[in-house]
Each structure stands twice: as C-alpha cells, then as structure tokens.
C-alpha cells in the first residue's frame, strides 16, 4: 500500500462530504442498496463508491449486533477442516491415495480456502471456475447470483504427478514437509496455459512479476481442481499463529465487541502516522454517521511477498509498537494476519483483498492508492494506473454489498511537523515520503521527520535493516592476510 494517500475526486466518495451523510446508521436505514450516481447520458454501470450500510432484515428491532453485519459470499462461511473424530480415518484413507506435494504458496492457498476466505469456493478451482475467474472476475452460482472471484485459486501439477494420479477420483495433498495435509475429491485435471493465465491476471506478460517467477513459471503444465478436505487447521509454528484468526474467529470477535461497523485496512507495509491518521479519521467519521462502535480490522497480508518487502515478523512487531505507543486504540482495533499470498496484480487483486474481508465480516473496506500495485517489471512506470484499483473495485461484480472507502491524501506537514491530510492551498508545506524513501531512511539509519512514524515502530524497522546489513557484511568475501 503506497504511502501517499489520495482524496478521491468524486464528492460522494469522500466521507467528509455532506452527501456521505446519506449513509446513515442501521437504525435509520433501509436494507436496499441504491444504484450509484449517474455520470453520463449513456450511464452504464455508474461508479458506486459508498453504498448505504447494510443491515439484517430484522434491522433495528434485533438485539446485540451479530457478525451478520455482512453475509459471507454464497450465504454460508466455508469451513473445510474435518471434525476431529474423522481426522484419523481420513488420514488413513489419504495414505492409500495418489499424492500431490504442495509448495509453500500452495499451502497458503489451502489455508485460505479451508477457512472460507474464498467462500463459496470449496476447493481448488475446476476449469469451469477457473475460466469464469479469468474472464469475468466472478462466478455465477446455481441460483444465478454472482460472487466476486478475481484471482484464479488453482493448484498446478507436473506431467509425472498427473501420470501417477491416473484415473483416481481423489488425491492426498502433502505439505512442503511431506506431511499429509488433506484430501482433494472428485478431481478434475485440465491444461495450465501459463501465458494466458498470466496475461489475463496481470495485464502483462513481461518477465519479472514476483508471484509469476515464484509460483507459476516453475509450476507444472496441468491444473487440478476438486473439493478440499483439510485434516487439521493449518499452522506455521512461527510464533505468529495466534495472530492468524479465521473468518469464523473474526466474526465471533466482532460480535463479542458488539461492533456495528467493521472497517478493514489491508496492508503489507509498516504503519506510519499517515495510515494511522486515515484509520482514526475513518472511525471518527463512522461515529459521526451514527455508528456506535466501529471496529478497525488492521489486516496485514501474511502470505508470500516479494523479496524487498518488509518480512511478516518485523511488520507484526512494528504494528504492535504502533498500538503500544497509542497511535491506534487497542480497544477499537483488531490486529490479525490475512493468510493469502500476494500477487501484485493491482485492479484484479484488490477485488480479492476486498472479497476476502467480506467473508471475514468487514462491511467497510479502505481502498488505497494503487492497491496491490508495483513498478512495471521491465519499464520505468507503474504497472497499473494508480486510480484503476479503486475504479475497478467500485464496479466489481459481487462486491455491491461492501461499503468502499477511498483513501485521502496524507503527507508530512513540515509546518505542523506531523502527518496531515494534504491541503492544496499550502502544498509547498507538504512532503511526500514514498515507501522507497522510508526504506532508505531506515537503511541509512537516518531518522525521518519527527511525527512520520511512532518512535517504537521506527526502531523496529531500523533494527531490521541493520540486521540485514550485518548479514550482507557476513556474506561478503573476506581478504585473507
């Protein structure tokens, strides 16, 4: 997520605009979602940024707010972890089946699917789902309803594995360590056209896309879809599992806290005071709108990230300092890990990031500038138009029920000496600090301007980059006397 934060041009998309007050609290609000504003004579599919808050049909009459603030896609949250009593027998069955060995990223997807982040998906995609995802970014359900599904969630196998599976209807899946993870049933094996998959997912076939280099190029020429059963919840034993709340656990937590609005913030970078300003400001505005207890889901991505991103453990430590230092209020914030790997697929991926948060029970989603964006791998430009992410998200089939909150531009106010929302009337006072710039500060041990990030959080980053340099030094060749 970029460090510059942008105010979307269309007034209805900004919570500080009077129109936003149309968005009234559940107790005052009809269920129906209105179509968005009309832009043109031949208005096709207007941008719909902020829907009215959703409520359950019994509305104001109901008692304590349930996580039914927003329904999971498909109506029911998918949970593919088998009951403990069945785990034993199924483990025995798995022994007898052809085996598919997972990579680390495959296992992250098993984690994602098994906990229902991708509801209503019940396993790795079969060709029918794969094609809909690739061409339409959504799936049509039996009843004709549409759910968003922008990223192909697929499992690749090589020719030898396909050969070994033969005509078996089911296969066992093994983790990278060789341990049995679960079973894939009623499988379907189909061609893995990597070029087409990459082109339609990223909008480029240029070499050097991190996920492609890591997970697609080296993978097999076949995809295997089927219904997934997982023998036990996926754990990583990295000291961070307690942060990995499932959608079911998150919804329970939101109930426990009596949240009447949950706003999710997806990130894979350290939290600076510009982010904090935005999150606190969003809460303030939700309160102004009449919500009594808006809860922030601070939801760092925990799966695969590119080499120069800050590692998960460092980010989690940095985030906890941000809460310790009181920049974010622990009383109204839940910090949890989103187990998905990162595609860096811009407008296509931001839909996945939002859709997964619907399944986790968030009914508001803050969309960043250039979400899931990165530099073009071979050209000196952004891979995606920074505005396409929020535009595509606002029009994405199956996301109509989610309230989308666009970023406001925050930058360092050199007069007030703090991060503040950009004021164009005195633009000369504002300093934009990019992610690269921030990393360079930390690398060089130089301090960023006061008020850019809380001291505790900054210290974590400085220590991380110091340790990196120490490693590099240790690996450098030593001249013998």
Cβ proximity of 233 and 81 under 8 Å: yes
348 touches 202 (CB < 8 A): yes
Kindly give, in sequence order, each residue whose CB lies less than 8 Å from that of residue 268, ignoring residues fewer than 6 positions away: 1, 300, 301, 305, 309, 315, 342
153, 124 Cβ separation under 8 angstroms: yes
Indicate the helix (H) or strand (E) that contains 136. helix 127-136
**Which listed range, 4-12, 94-102, 187-195, 456-464, lies at the site for a second copy (CB under 8 A)?**
187-195
Q: Specify the residue, 152 or 300, whose C-beta has the smaller distance to a second copy.
A: 152
Task: Tell me how far, at minimum, the Cβ of 454 lies from a second copy, in Å.
Answer: 38
User: Which region, judged by CB under 8 A, interacts with a second copy, from 129-137, 240-248, 457-465, 467-475?
Assistant: 129-137
Figure out which of the listed residues 123, 182, 294, 300 binds a second copy, where binding follows CB under 8 A.
123
The answer to the question of residue 391 lying near a second copy (CB under 8 A) is yes
13 belongs to the binding site for a second copy (CB under 8 A)? no
Q: Does 386 bind a second copy (CB under 8 A)?
A: no
Shortest Å distance, C-beta 78 to a second copy: 9
**Phi, psi values for residue 457, rounded to 5°:** -65, -40
Shortest CB 198 distance to a second copy, Å? 8
Which of 214, 227, 255, 429 touches a second copy by CB under 8 A? 227
Over 143-194, what HEC string results?
Answer: CCCEEECCCCCCCEECHHHHHHHCCCCCEEEECCCCCEEEEEEEEEEEECCH
- CB burial of 296-318 (b: ≥16 within 10 Å; e: otherwise) equals bbbbbbbbbbeeebbebebbbbb
Which conformational region is residue 370 in: left (phi greater than 0), alpha (psi within -120 to 50 degrees), or beta?
Answer: left
Q: Give the strand pairing for 156-157 and 146-148.
A: unpaired
CB of 136 to a second copy, least distance (A): 6
Binding-site size for a second copy (CB under 8 A) equals 59
Residue 242, interface with a second copy (CB under 8 A)? no
Among 9, 18, 40, 478, binds a second copy (CB under 8 A): 40
The answer to whether the CB of 371 falls within 8 A of the CB of 266 is yes
Q: Does 47 bind a second copy (CB under 8 A)?
A: yes
Separation between Cα atoms, residue 263 and residue 261, nearest integer Å: 7
The nearest distance, CB 346 to a second copy, in angstroms, is 9
Q: CB-wise, 22 or 131, nearer to a second copy? A: 131
Beta bridge partners of 249: none
Nearer to a second copy, 150 or 359 (CB): 150
Is 214 a binding residue for a second copy by CB under 8 A? The answer is no
DSSP state of 450: T
Q: Is 371 in the site for a second copy (CB under 8 A)?
A: no
Nearest to 109 by CA among 224, 243, 238: 224
Q: Which of residues 136-165 bind a second copy (CB under 8 A)?
A: 136-144, 146-147, 150
Does residue 129 touch a second copy according to CB under 8 A?
yes
Per CB under 8 A, 221 contacts a second copy: no
Q: Report the interface residues with a second copy, using CB under 8 A.
A: 35, 38-47, 120-123, 126-129, 131-132, 135-144, 146-147, 150, 185-186, 191, 193, 195-196, 199-200, 202-206, 227, 347-348, 384-385, 388, 391-392, 395-397, 400
């Amino acid at each position: 997520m970029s460090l510059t934060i942008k105010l979307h041009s269309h007034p209805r998309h900004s919570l500080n605009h009077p129109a936003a007050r149309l968005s009234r609290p559940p107790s005052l609000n009809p269920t129906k979602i209105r179509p968005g504003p009309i832009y043109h004579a031949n208005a096709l599919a207007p941008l719909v940024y902020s829907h009215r808050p959703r409520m359950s049909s019994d509305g104001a009459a109901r008692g304590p707010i349930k996580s039914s603030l927003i329904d999971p896609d498909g109506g029911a949250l998918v949970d593919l972890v088998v009951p403990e009593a069945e785990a034993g027998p199924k483990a025995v069955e798995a022994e007898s089946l052809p085996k598919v060995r997972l990579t680390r990223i495959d296992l992250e997807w098993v984690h994602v699917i098994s906990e229902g982040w991708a509801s209503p998906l019940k396993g790795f995609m079969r060709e029918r789902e794969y094609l809909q995802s690739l061409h339409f970014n959504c799936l049509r359900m039996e009843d004709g309803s549409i759910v968003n599904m922008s990223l192909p969630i697929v499992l690749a196998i090589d020719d030898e594995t396909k050969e070994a599976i033969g005509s078996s209807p089911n296969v066992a899946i093994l983790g990278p360590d060789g341990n049995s993870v679960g079973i894939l049933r009623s499988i379907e094996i189909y061609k893995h056209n990597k070029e087409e998959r990459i082109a339609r997912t990223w909008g480029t076939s240029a070499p050097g896309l991190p996920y492609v280099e890591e997970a697609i190029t080296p993978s097999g020429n076949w995809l295997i879809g089927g219904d997934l059963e997982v023998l036990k919840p996926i754990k990583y034993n990295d000291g961070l599992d307690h942060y990995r709340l499932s959608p079911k656990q998150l919804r329970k937590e939101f109930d426990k806290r009596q949240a009447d609005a949950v706003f999710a913030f997806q990130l894979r970078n350290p939290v600076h005071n510009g982010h904090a300003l935005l999150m606190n400001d969003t809460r303030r505005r939700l309160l102004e709108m009449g919500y009594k207890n808006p809860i922030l889901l601070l939801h760092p991505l925990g799966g695969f990230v590119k080499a120069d991103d800050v590692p998960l453990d460092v980010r989690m430590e940095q985030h906890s300092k941000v809460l310790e230092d009181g920049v974010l209020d622990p009383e109204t914030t839940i910090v949890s890990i989103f187990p998905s790997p990162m595609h860096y697929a811009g407008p296509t991926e931001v839909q996945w990031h939002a859709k997964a948060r619907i399944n986790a029970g968030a009914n508001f989603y803050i969309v960043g500038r250039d979400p899931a964006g990165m530099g073009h791998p071979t050209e000196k430009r952004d891979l995606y138009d920074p505005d396409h992410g929020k535009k595509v998200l606002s029009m994405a089939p199956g996301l109509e029920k989610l309230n989308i909150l666009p970023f406001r531009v925050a930058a360092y106010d050199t007069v007030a000496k703090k991060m503040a929302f950009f004021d164009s009337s005195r633009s000369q006072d504002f300093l934009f600090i990019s992610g690269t710039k921030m990393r360079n500060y930390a690398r060089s041990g130089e301090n960023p301007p006061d008020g850019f990030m809380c001291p505790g959080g900054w210290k974590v980053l400085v220590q991380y980059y110091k340790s990196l340099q120490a490693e590099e030094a240790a690996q450098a060749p030593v001249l013998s006397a």
